[in-house]
Amino acid sequence: MKPINIGLMGVGTVGGGVATVLKRNAEEISRRAGREIRLTIASRRNVEMARDLVGPDVTVVADPFEVVNHPDVDIVVELIGGDTVAKELVLQAIANGKHVVTANKKLLAVHGNEIFARAQEKGVMVAFEAAVAGGIPIIKALREGLSANRIEWLAGIINGTSNFILTEMREKGADFIDVLKEAQRLGYAEADPTFDVEGHDAGHKLTIMAAIAFGIPMQFDNCYLEGISKLEGKDIQYAEELGYRVKLIGLTRRTEAGVELRVHPTLIPEDQLIANVNGVMNAVLVRGDAVGQTLFNGPGAGALPTASAVVADLVDVTRLMTADPGHRVPHLAFQPDQLKNLTILPIDEVVSSYYLRIQAVDRAGVMADITRLLAENGISIEALIQKGAIADGSAEIVILTHRVVEKAVNKAIAAIEALDSVAGKVVRLRMEELNG
């Protein structure tokens, strides 16, 4: 059979990885796909640098539109990132009747509904395994491997930078800012780390997973984002003393009231496997009504792991491109006319358990006041420990609550902060057992 021609837009780290994998594993890939998959044309503004990465057999151009408009290209790989020119290119490729493989989570989380609708009209595939959790085939697992299930929830460590920082903070007892500097030095964090450490990146990935898990449209605007930059080392340490690890978790759950869609630092019991996923590794824990809980773990970023996902999509698209579009795997797991626009719950309607740290000043009755305010707001206490002595003015009260709606906790916190016997703000972290 004739080879499949790939056009690659964006030849950076990952693009170089794709070229490497396609070349190095050419034999295995064609033994699997039944035909050769070859990189034909690639684009990067700096043509010389691209040529170094893709080798002499590939035509290199500066203008990515030459790639999407090239008549010989069967599948376009978009690795430019962002949602401006990348969006134009992807829509142009679709209009040209070309299949698209992309690692661009932002593009899909923000403009996915439009892109998939266009692809549907044109009968082309848009594959995006590399957009979530790098080399872990989690999109395929959710869309195909667990298709018998009513997915109840999923929770992921889906930002390697944040997980590296949290791991270091725990292991070294260090503060966020110091570990961030180390991560930047090692190349695990960008010069401007906002996108990673404030949860935006995880929110994009979570939005995509929620869509395919529940059969809902992409709605990143409704995703709650809270990052790790304000986390203090002492809360990680107290959590550990209580048997928990703190992870930046993207969590989406189907409830009677609506779909939870939230990214925030979360206490997880240390005996959960996902609590022990450290460093830059990613993991996604999925709860389905039939399968129970399955965990998928692996490298969430990097040139070759991401290329692994891109090239797997190329093999998939190659296999399915001759099938009639009605019998391919639907882009968002559910048939396009079967998406349901479920409500996303506002964060203060979410039910969770909580970790609270309260700075008590030297005054009798503070414990009685706090427990009374919690009780008045319907919050029951699972554990309570006092750190330090009230006598020297440095006492802290750490409380773990049972499950309760977030607005009740916010109300209780406001009342606690108003007590004369309490100083400063109450530290509030969410806690999830991730068990059933």
Minimal distance, residue 364 CB to a second copy, in Å: 45
Minimal distance, residue 181 CB to a second copy, in Å: 26
Given 105, 106, 140, 205, which residue is catalytic? 205
Q: How many CB atoms lie within 10 A of CB 257?
A: 12
CA 170/CA 150 separation, integer angstroms: 36
435 binds a second copy (CB under 8 A): no
Q: Which of 125, 155, 310, 344 binds a second copy (CB under 8 A)?
A: 310
Name the residue nearer to a second copy (CB basis): 317 or 398: 317
Name the residue nearer to a second copy (CB basis): 91 or 321: 321
Structure-block tokens of residue 364 = 């009798």
Residue among 160, 250, 166 at smallest CA distance from 196: 160
Minimal distance, residue 282 CB to a second copy, in Å: 10
400 binds a second copy (CB under 8 A): no
SS3 359: strand
x-or-dash pattern for a second copy, window 252-291, by CB under 8 A?
Answer: ---------------------x--xx----------xxxx
H/E stretch holding 253 reads strand 244-254
Binding to a second copy (CB under 8 A): which residues in 103-132?
Answer: 129
The number of helix segments (H) and strand segments (E) in the chain equals 15, 17
Residue among 352, 355, 405, 397 at smallest CA distance from 377: 405
x-or-dash pattern for a second copy, window 168-207, by CB under 8 A?
Answer: ----------------------------------------
Residue among 340, 390, 361 at smallest CA distance from 219: 340
x-or-dash pattern for a second copy, window 322-341, by CB under 8 A?
Answer: xxx-xxxxx--xxx--x---
DSSP secondary structure, 5-52, as one string: EEEEE--SHHHHHHHHHHHHTHHHHHHHHSS-EEEEEEE-SSHHHHHH
Minimal distance, residue 424 CB to a second copy, in Å: 38
Whether 234 is catalytic: no
x-or-dash pattern for a second copy, window 135-154, by CB under 8 A?
Answer: xxx--xx--xxxxxxx----
Residue among 295, 231, 232, 296 at smallest CA distance from 264: 231
Return the bridge partners of 75, or none: 6, 99
29 binds a second copy (CB under 8 A): yes
Minimal distance, residue 150 CB to a second copy, in Å: 5
> What is each CA distance from 27 to 30, 36, 41, in whole angstroms?
5, 8, 20
Catalytic residues, by residue number, are 205
Q: State the residues that interact with a second copy by CB under 8 A.
A: 17, 21, 24-25, 28-29, 31-34, 129, 135-137, 140-141, 144-150, 215, 273, 276-277, 288-299, 302, 304-305, 307-312, 314-316, 319-324, 326-330, 333-335, 338
